[in-house]
Amino acid sequence: MQQVKSGDKVKVHYHGRLTDGTTFDSSAGREPLEVEVGSGMVIKGFDEGLLGMSIGEKKTIQIPVDDAYGPADPQMVMEFPIDRFPPDMKPEVGMQLNMSDGAGNNFPVIIAEVKQDTVLLDANHPLAGEELIFDLELVEISGSKPLIIMP
């Protein structure tokens, strides 16, 4: 029976949750996720969890923080003056915004705390610092790229 190896393109259904059982993403009701194993398209722990699976196989993997989105970086949390927000915008905890740095690069931030004069903006990935659990079901293996050996 064919098993997933690095370089294979696969289709997989998944259900991702936190250790407290909270679902953060799922392919339920959608097409399965299509990835090339080992290409860096998904987090390291998800990629490694696919290796060795066979079509139709189901399994649950637990991904430590370092193989998921890494630890939360305190340097990615910044204080921003509340008076710099548009006057018609009321900042609220959990609100997602897009910021721009001086070089014109845009990046998402989440309002972590609203104080009297400032707002704490968190630019960490929302799942940084979290151990993740995925229920996987391998749907298809479409094979790897052909190996070309040059003389």
In the DSSP assignment, the letter for residue 117 is S
How far, rounded to the nearest angstrom, does the alpha carbon of residue 73 sit from its chain's CA centroid? 16
Query: Tens of pLDDT along 21-49?
Result: 999 999 999 999 999 999 999 999 999 99
Euclidean distance between CA atoms 124 and 101, whole angstroms: 15
The string of pLDDT tens digits covering residues 51-63 is 999 999 999 999 9
Q: Torsion over CA of 93, 130, 50 and 47, rounded to 10 degrees?
A: 80
Please give the model's pTM, rounded to 2 decimal places.
0.80
Burial class (CB in 10 A: 0-12, 13-18, 19+), 64: exposed
Domains in the chain with CATH codes:
8-70+127-144 (3.10.50.40), 74-122 (2.40.10.330)
Q: State pLDDT tens for residues 82-91.
A: 999 888 999 9
